[in-house]
């Protein structure tokens, strides 16, 4: 699949991310010397990378479950490859052609007779991933009420996380419940009607949706573990768990917004601002640790180049047999 020349929007996103990163380094909010020292702790770096690939395995497992619920059967090895390709494009060309769009291109081509169902699986995968992160943040905010209610800023962050979780969870189940009904509305474009109809089919697979949500929570727990190891690598110790879980999930949500490649610059600004609100003493060290985490994550994503180069198109099994495992 060939890509055209970079669009102006992508160039601006690259420039924005680089500009924010450079400004934070120049102003002392990001200490590049501390970041470099963090990379000298090779055991911790290897552990972060290993957790990153464990996340790929969990994400692949989750997506495979969602595909089978749509009567699309794909071998785990191939689903892993497409997941890695999606991650590659998430950090390589954000905003122009995102990883979900690239993955969607491949899976809809492979499952040509169930394109809308394949697209619905990718949409579901993205939404349940975000819900898992927000749930983790909301649960930890509730479990650490002393920290969450300490100030107006922490109360606002805790409330924002809880409302975000409830809103996305409610929106998900509203879409699943209303999908089939909305797909009958003739004024809705045909492609969107087909996707809504496919989303409605997840109502018959409640166990799959529950399993996907559980895997998302596990996956995001690994993200927090990666960030914790990055804190250790940069010499940060003793951060209260209430502060950690109030800031990290929201910071990772912000980092997922496709404004710059891999969230470079934007993620640093988000973590610095969040720590500044909750625990100012950790603003700079927490930002340094996030940079270490981010670089390792980007390296894991870039290894998707192997699967991108070696990918070979082949149709996948669709129909009743493919859905047997989830019926």
* Res 38 pLDDT > 90: no
The answer to whether residue 20 scores a pLDDT higher than 90 is no
Residue pLDDT, tens place only, 81-125:
999 999 988 877 654 447 888 898 999 999 888 888 898 899 899
Secondary-structure percent of the chain, ordered helix, strand, coil, rounded to 5: 80, 0, 20
When the pLDDT of each residue in the chain is averaged and rounded to a whole number, the result is 82
Q: With contact defined as beta carbons under 8 Å apart, do 120 and 61 qualify?
A: no
Tens digit of each residue's pLDDT (9 = 90 or more) over 234-291:
999 888 888 898 889 888 887 776 665 555 667 888 899 899 988 899 999 999 999 8
How far, CA to CA in Å, does 57 sit from each of 81, 82, 247?
10, 12, 26
pTM for the full model?
A: 0.83
Q: How many CB atoms lie within 10 A of CB 235?
A: 13
Residue ranges per structural domain of the chain: 66-310
pLDDT band at 215 (very low <50, low <70, confident <90, very high): very high
Choice between 154 and 79, residue whose per-residue pLDDT is larger: 79
- pLDDT tens-digit map of 48-78: 999 999 999 999 999 999 999 999 999 999 9
Quick one: 105 exposed, middle or buried, by C-beta within 10 A (0-12, 13-18, 19+)? middle
* In the predicted structure, residue 2 carries a pLDDT above the cut 70: no
Q: How far apart are CA 199 and CA 327, in angstroms?
A: 16
């Amino acid at each position: 699949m060939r890509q055209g020349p970079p669009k102006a929007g992508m160039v601006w996103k690259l420039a924005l991310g680089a500009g924010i990163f450079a400004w934070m380094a120049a102003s002392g909010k990001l200490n590049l010397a501390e970041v470099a020292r963090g990379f000298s702790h090779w055991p911790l770096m290897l552990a972060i990378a290993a957790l990153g690939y464990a996340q790929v395995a969990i994400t692949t497992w989750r997506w495979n479950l969602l595909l089978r619920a749509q009567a699309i059967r794909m071998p785990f090895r191939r689903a892993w490859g497409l997941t890695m390709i999606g991650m590659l494009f998430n950090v390589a060309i954000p905003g122009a052609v995102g990883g979900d769009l690239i993955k969607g291109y491949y899976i809809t081509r492979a499952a040509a007779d169930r394109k809308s169902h394949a697209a619905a699986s990718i949409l579901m995968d993205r939404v349940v991933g975000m819900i898992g992160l927000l749930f983790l943040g909301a649960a930890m905010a509730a479990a650490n009420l002393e920290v969450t209610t300490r100030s107006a800023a922490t109360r606002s962050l805790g409330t924002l996380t809880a409302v975000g979780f409830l809103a996305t969870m409610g929106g998900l189940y509203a879409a699943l419940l209303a999908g089939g009904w909305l797909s009958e509305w003739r004024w809705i474009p045909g492609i969107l009607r087909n996707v809504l109809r496919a989303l409605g089919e997840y109502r018959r697979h409640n166990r799959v949706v529950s399993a996907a949500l559980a895997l998302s929570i596990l996956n995001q727990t690994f993200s927090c573990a990666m960030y914790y190891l990055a804190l250790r690598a940069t010499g940060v110790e003793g951060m209260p768990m209430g502060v950690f879980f109030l800031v990290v999930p929201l910071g990772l949500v912000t980092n997922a917004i496709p404004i710059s490649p891999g969230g470079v610059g934007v993620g640093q600004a988000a973590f610095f601002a969040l720590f500044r609100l909750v625990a100012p003493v950790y603003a700079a060290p927490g930002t340094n640790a996030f940079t270490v985490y981010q670089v390792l994550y980007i390296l894991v994503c870039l290894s998707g180049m192997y699967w991108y180069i070696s990918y070979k198109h082949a149709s996948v099994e669709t129909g009743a047999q493919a859905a047997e495992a989830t019926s």
